[in-house]
Amino acid sequence: MNLFASESEVLAPLMSGWFLEHAWLIPVVPAIAFALIILVGKRLPMKGSELGVLSMFSSLVLAAGAGYQWIQRTNSATEEQFVEPVIKSWSWWQSGGFNFGIGQHIDGLSVLVLIVVAFISTLVQIYSLEYLRGDRRYTHFFAALTLFSGGMLTMVLADNMILFLLGWEIMGLCSFMLIGHWWEDDANSKAALKAFFTVRTGDAGLLVGITMLYFSANDWTQEHLGVSGFSIRGISAWALSGEPNSTVITIAAVALFIACIGKSGQFPLHTWLPDAMAGPTPVSSLLHSSTMVVAGVYLVARLYPVFFVGLDILGSGGNLIMVIGAITIVISAALAFVQNDIKRVLAYSTVSQLGYMMLGLGAGAWMPAVFHIFTHAFFKACLFLGAGSISHSASHHSFDMKRDMGGLRKVMPITFVTWIISTLALCGVFPFSGFFSKDEIIDNVGHNGYTNFMIIGLIGAFMTAAYMTRATYLTFFGEPRGASAGQMVHDSHDLHDTHATHDTHATHVADDSHDSGEAHGPHESGLLITVPLMILSVLALGSGFLNATPFGESWERMKLWVEPRHSEFAPELHHAPFMWSKASLSLVIVFAGIAVSWLISSRLFTKRDPRLVGLTQRVKLLGLGHKFLVNKYYLDALYEKVIVRSIAYPIASAAYWFNQNILDGILHGLANSTRKLSGWVYKNIDQRVVDGTVNNSATFTKSVGAAAQPTQSGKVSQYGALLFSAAAVAALVLVIINT
């Protein structure tokens, strides 16, 4: 062994691909941390939170190493060369001839999402150290948060659909625990259950799709690739081989997309996502930026060949993915206009942006949609954490913009600047990151011949700019109102993150400065909150330059690193050439949305223009429209009072009848039979046999005692006579025996 090896010799194994070969460690680390937090977390100095932060930072280092080595591979490959993914698989378990494997599939897409998830999760964990300090379930929060990220990392890394399903369901379970973290409040419990059951509804499609793909593709994948029909790579190659039956692959693609609709909050299963704001703000940030809701988009991108062939992407007239994405963009943006809760505005914004991602994937704009996953993660995480900063330090834990905010830009300069940067990125303003991803989606949709869908994308851009301007004005401009003006808040008024009612922050010591908004008025948050905001805002500003198509091919680094090229495992796609004329149109629309919304907001909320105040009450049609939006298109009423009632109530009634008449009848019959049998046993066995034997023995003993009683007279002469008689009888017996 060479003890004096050079630094290059020591680093050579790492640089040659160690991180890529051992990428499976990325989800394993948080899984181990979760177990340790549950077992010993409460006995640690930081109640287990240090294990969560350390595990996510370790996963980030491993993911960054894998990303660096993947970039090296792609940079060294020629333009015509296909860069092979790093796939490793081990046998997990076998049952009935089925071999279920466990392994990793590392390519540009998985590396990109791994880095984003690990990075956002690390910042959210650090942010939570301050935000959740003193919470009664502090340890369990970090355990669930760590496992939540681990589930997403497992799903992204999976080389087969069974492992993919495992990570998918781990996230579903953890989201239920995190959304309902403050379950003492009935609204939080209901929100957690609503999210769980709605997503489970979509998950039925995932099970159907996986099953169909396995039985359809297994023979082909075994013969041509030597892999199981659960293999993601095998399924992708099979889908593009021309082998699949068109009906089968179409049904499988639709079934899988139903799961994506549920997980990614697409119409009509989007209703759970805004209610998920009941969870702590760090959960909202992580769930809405890079995990959980992105899982559905990732599934479409990961199995894109199945959707490309099954739903005839790039065919004439559009497809299911585009239609659902377009509807989702508009309806969710419209709902954001009538929200007073700042987190709900951001929630509907997330739904809308997910619609853009789906629209891009449905239109063949795979790379812009994937890039939008990347940029959206940073500015949306920053916006949610910014909302938490406002609630934490300025509005007495309220999220009501109209009631408890206003004028906060003066007292929260860091939060304000980071919010503005992220808002401009969300709106797609040049040169912020959202411009380079969302504008590319819209441009490619039009380039591929879907002009009507491109117009819907532009309308969505106008609406995004308008509702975010409204939220920004209500929060940071105008006169301070309610808690931001120093007034105490005595009711929850739809406060989904109210510490006073949902956790034990009141148990903090009196001089705990992080929760002293009541004593010192609105103020800027501490470094544990503002540093993550600053980091995310920098990325919201600059991350778009990693694929800056306006500046030429040399700037399109993400395309080089992520998009598969010349591969039998991915369809051939073409990109729209960038044109400033199209981009300028989009920017004009965005600035128009900002200007119109700012003008209306200032006239309505500050100047109280009588022509605008009460307009929905004066104009009947506007009032009906406003009511329609406030009631969220009555979809909740449809689901809960019509669909669930029509399905659940008959099932419940039938189950009750079955319980009362069948199960209870059987039980009552058995009880009556048992009662009669026990009566017969008591009368005949217990009383006559058992008690009879005992009673007869007692009677016999009593008779013997009565007969023997005269011999116990107490007279010595009588005892002597008895002894003499007994001796005589004994002597007589001996004489007779010995004769």
Instruction: Determine, yes or no, domain membership for 226.
Output: no
| Dist. CA 451–CA 582, nearest whole Å | 13
Nearest alpha carbon to residue 113 among 361, 356, 384, 297: 297
Report the 3 state secondary structure along 36-85.
Answer: HHHHHHHHCCCCCHHHHHHHHHHHHHHHHHHHHHHHHHHHHCCCCCCCCC
Number of structural domains found in the chain:
1
- The residue segments making up the domain with residue 477 are 340-485+522-606
Instruction: Determine, yes or no, domain membership for 214.
Output: no
Instruction: Determine, yes or no, domain membership for 194.
Output: no
Instruction: Determine, yes or no, domain membership for 104.
Output: no
Beta bridge partners of 547: 556
The enclosing H or E element of 89 equals strand 86-95
Q: SS3 for 92?
A: strand
Round the average pLDDT of the chain to a whole number and report it. 87
pTM of the model as a whole:
0.85
Q: Which residues of the chain have pLDDT under 70?
A: 1-16, 488-520, 566, 705, 707-715, 739
Residue in this structure with the two tokens 């009566």, named with its chain if needed: 679
| Dist. CA 733–CA 736, nearest whole Å | 5
Instruction: Determine, yes or no, domain membership for 504.
Output: no
Are 433 and 541 in contact by the 8 Å Cβ rule? The answer is: yes
Nearest alpha carbon to residue 152 among 115, 126, 206: 115
Per-residue confidence (pLDDT) for residue 499, from 0 to 100: 38
Per-residue confidence (pLDDT) for residue 713, from 0 to 100: 62
The enclosing H or E element of 103 equals strand 98-106
Peptide bond into 268 cis (omega under 30): yes
pLDDT tens track for 249-291: 999 999 999 999 999 999 999 999 888 888 899 999 998 888 8
Instruction: Determine, yes or no, domain membership for 346.
Output: yes
Residue in this structure with the two tokens 């109530």, named with its chain if needed: 649
The enclosing H or E element of 738 equals helix 716-738
Per-residue confidence (pLDDT) for residue 714, from 0 to 100: 63
SS3 content of the chain, % helix, strand, coil (to 5): 75, 5, 25
Instruction: Determine, yes or no, domain membership for 684.
Output: no
Nearest alpha carbon to residue 352 among 421, 264, 277: 264
Instruction: Determine, yes or no, domain membership for 430.
Output: yes
| Dist. CA 291–CA 287, nearest whole Å | 5
Per-residue confidence (pLDDT) for residue 502, from 0 to 100: 36
Nearest alpha carbon to residue 426 among 414, 415, 435, 416: 435
